[in-house]
Copies of this chain bind each other. A is one copy, B any other.
Amino acid sequence: MTLRVLGVDPGLTRCGIGVVDIERNRRATMVAVGVVGTSAELTLDRRLLVIAQAIDEWLDLHQPDVVAVERVFSQMNVSTVMGVAQASGVVIAAAARRDIPVALHTPSEVKAAVTGSGSANKDAVTKLVTKILRLDAPPKPADAADALALALTHAWRAGNGTGAPGAKGSSALTPAQKAWAEAEAKARRAR
Contact = CB atoms under 8 A, between A and B. Distances in A.
* Chain multiplicity (copies): 2
A87 to B, nearest CB: 6
B52 A97 contact: yes
Interface in A94-141: 95-97, 101-102, 104
A109 B96 CA distance: 34
Interface in A46-81: 46, 48-49, 51-52, 72-75, 78-79, 81
Contacts of A43: 102
B87 A46 contact: no
A92 to B, nearest CB: 5
Residue of A44, A45, A74, A88 with most chain B CB atoms under a 10 A cut-off: A45
A29 to B, nearest CB: 26
